[in-house]
Amino acid sequence: MVSHGCSCCGSVSRADTASIPVASDSSVGGSSPSYQVTGLTCGHCAKSVTQALQALPQVNEVQVDLVAGGVSTVTVTGVVPPEMVRRAIEESGYSVLS
């Protein structure tokens, strides 16, 4: 039986969507770059990503604008390299589009 649930609740294979680099948003000074993320379909998904990002050093705040079945926006405030943010999101089971 194949599950088409969300990445955190169901068995979902690794996404085939490639990560597209973000335009250079300077993380110096506590900026708030945003990332377009697929696979976030419920509050539990948003909580999983939020916890993974809050575990990174120098992350002050995480905001998830959840769009179930679509592309959600994750905004991270703090001084953290974008690659670390992308890696944390992808290791949580989601795909970063930008």
The per-residue pLDDT for range 32-84, each reduced to its tens digit, is: 899 999 999 899 999 999 999 999 999 999 999 999 889 999 999 999 999 99
Average pLDDT over residues 12-22: 33
Q: Is the per-residue pLDDT at 23 higher than 80?
A: no
Name which of 36, 73, 76, 35 is nearest 55 in CA terms.
76
Residue with tokens 């970063």: 96
14 contacts: CB under 8 Å, gap ≥ 6: none
CB-facing half-sphere around the CA of 67: CA atoms within 13 A = 8
The residue with greater pLDDT, 28 or 52, is 52
pTM (whole model) above 0.85: no
- Helix, strand, or coil (residue 55): coil
